[in-house]
């Protein structure tokens, strides 16, 4: 199973980030995780007097503590941190590293105008550069669950690339832990008949499309370990069209409470992919979106190894010497 022991939630005091904090509180309570709430305030100008600077920091620190206390849930371990920086995304990533965060929870939007902190550019920077999973909470999500967070309907996009396999590992782990219904979606962006030699105008393309769809369904089915089906319901779907549009449409139809995307970060190609697909999903989704970077593949490999070791230990202990 994936670890969910430490959660970092950056806030900027906007309603959007407070919504994300409320959700992070629920996650902290559900997983028994430590929660660190971070605010990155812009650096004060050199012209500011030491007294004015001190008052500004003190007021911001007070706002941070009062926001946390207003949203705090019983039995949650919450700490706060206030830092100054002109590069909030970098400071958030530094804080995640120092805290050892297993997850960063953030709003998908924030303040507008000059004082923006968690608006698009910062969120995008987090998603592009973070080596840790990032969960975005949509600005139009009405409220976090009334009780503990327990994802019951998950949609995971799979394009058979290594990054999407890492996302699938996360989705499977969460689904197994919560007994969720997990839908694996592959989207065929190019009509299958275009990859075949030219055919007469009256040629029936339906068999070509059906064959391509069936081949993808077989590949999706093969990705699911048999033991996973003992703990959760796994469905597969293959659709044709735009990736983000079909993913959002399916998530809405399935009443999904989580979308999982595995992405490759830190290279120019993925920035193009992110702009055309993942970004649209994050902006328009009606549920949280978990973005899992490819760097988490090693984490999942260790988790699988540890799980196999523990299973082996239980098996050995169940057969005493005799």
- Burial of 70: CB neighbours in 10 Å, binned 0-12, 13-18, 19+: exposed
The CA distance from 286 to 308, in Å, is 36
Phi, psi of 157 (to 5 degrees): -85, 135
Look at the block and give the residue holding tokens 């980030």.
Answer: 17
The CA distance from 159 to 112, in Å, is 35
pLDDT tens for the chain, 322 residues long, are 677 899 999 999 988 888 899 999 999 998 899 999 999 998 887 776 788 888 889 999 999 999 999 999 988 999 999 999 999 999 999 999 999 999 999 987 644 443 444 446 788 888 888 899 999 998 777 566 666 777 899 999 999 988 889 999 999 999 998 899 999 999 987 766 556 566 666 667 778 788 889 999 999 999 999 889 899 999 999 998 888 899 999 999 999 999 999 887 544 444 444 445 777 888 888 899 999 988 777 666 666 555 544 444 433 343 333 3
Domain parsing of the chain, residue ranges: 6-137, 153-310
Strand partners of residue 239: 187
- Burial of 157: CB neighbours in 10 Å, binned 0-12, 13-18, 19+: buried
Non-local CB neighbours of 22 within 8 Å, separated by 6+ positions: 71, 143, 144
Q: What is the pLDDT of residues 213-246, one digit of tens each?
A: 999 999 999 999 988 989 999 999 999 888 889 9
Classify 6-137 by CATH class. alpha beta
For residues 31 and 203, the answer to whether their CB atoms sit within 8 Å is: no
Q: What is the pLDDT of residues 121-176, one digit of tens each?
A: 788 888 888 899 999 998 777 566 666 777 899 999 999 988 889 999 999 999 99
| Closest C-alpha among 171, 169, 210 to residue 188 | 210
Q: Domain 153-310 maps to which CATH number in 3.40.50.620, 3.40.50.1000, 3.40.1780.10, 3.30.1020.10?
A: 3.40.50.620
For residues 105 and 79, the answer to whether their CB atoms sit within 8 Å is: no
pTM score? 0.84
Q: At what angle do helices 50-71 and 15-31 cross, to 10 degrees?
A: 50
Query: Which string of DSSP letters, residue by residue, matches 120-166?
Result: HHHHHHHHHH-SS-EEEE-TT-----SS-----EEEEE--SSHHHHH
Phi, psi of 51 (to 5 degrees): -70, -45
Same-fold call for 6-137 versus 153-310: yes
Query: Which string of DSSP letters, residue by residue, matches 208-264?
Result: HHHHHHHHHHHHHHHTS-GGGGGTSEEEEEEEES-HHHHHHHHHHHTT-SEEEEEE-
């Amino acid at each position: 199973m994936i670890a969910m022991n430490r959660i970092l939630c950056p806030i900027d005091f906007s309603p959007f980030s407070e919504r994300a904090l409320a959700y992070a509180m629920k996650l902290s309570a559900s997983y028994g995780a430590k929660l660190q709430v971070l605010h990155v305030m812009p650096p004060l100008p050199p012209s500011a007097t030491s007294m004015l600077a001190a008052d500004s920091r003190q007021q911001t620190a007070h706002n941070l503590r009062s926001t946390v206390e207003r949203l705090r849930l019983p039995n949650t371990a919450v700490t706060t941190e206030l830092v100054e920086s002109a590069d909030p995304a970098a400071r958030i990533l530094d804080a995640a590293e120092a805290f050892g965060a297993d997850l960063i929870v953030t709003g998908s939007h924030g303040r507008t105008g000059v004082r923006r902190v968690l608006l698009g550019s910062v969120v995008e920077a987090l998603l592009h550069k973070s080596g840790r999973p990032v969960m975005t909470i949509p600005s139009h999500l009405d409220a976090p669950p009334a009780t503990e967070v327990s994802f019951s309907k998950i949609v995971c996009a799979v394009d058979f690339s290594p990054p999407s396999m890492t996302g699938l590992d996360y989705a499977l782990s969460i689904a197994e832990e919560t007994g969720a219904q997990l839908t694996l979606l592959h989207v065929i962006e190019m009509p299958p008949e275009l990859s075949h030699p030219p055919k007469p105008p009256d040629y029936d393309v339906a068999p070509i499309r059906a064959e391509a769809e069936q081949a993808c369904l077989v590949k999706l089915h093969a990705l699911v370990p048999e033991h996973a089906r003992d703990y959760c319901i796994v469905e597969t779907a293959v659709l044709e069209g735009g990736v983000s549009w079909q993913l959002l449409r399916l998530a809405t139809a399935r009443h999904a409470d989580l979308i999982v995307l595995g992405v490759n970060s830190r290279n120019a190609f993925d920035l193009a992919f992110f702009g055309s697909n993942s970004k649209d999903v994050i902006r328009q989704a009606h549920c949280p979106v978990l973005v899992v970077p490819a760097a988490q593949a090693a984490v999942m490999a260790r988790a699988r190894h540890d799980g196999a070791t523990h299973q082996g230990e239980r098996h050995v202990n169940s057969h005493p010497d005799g």
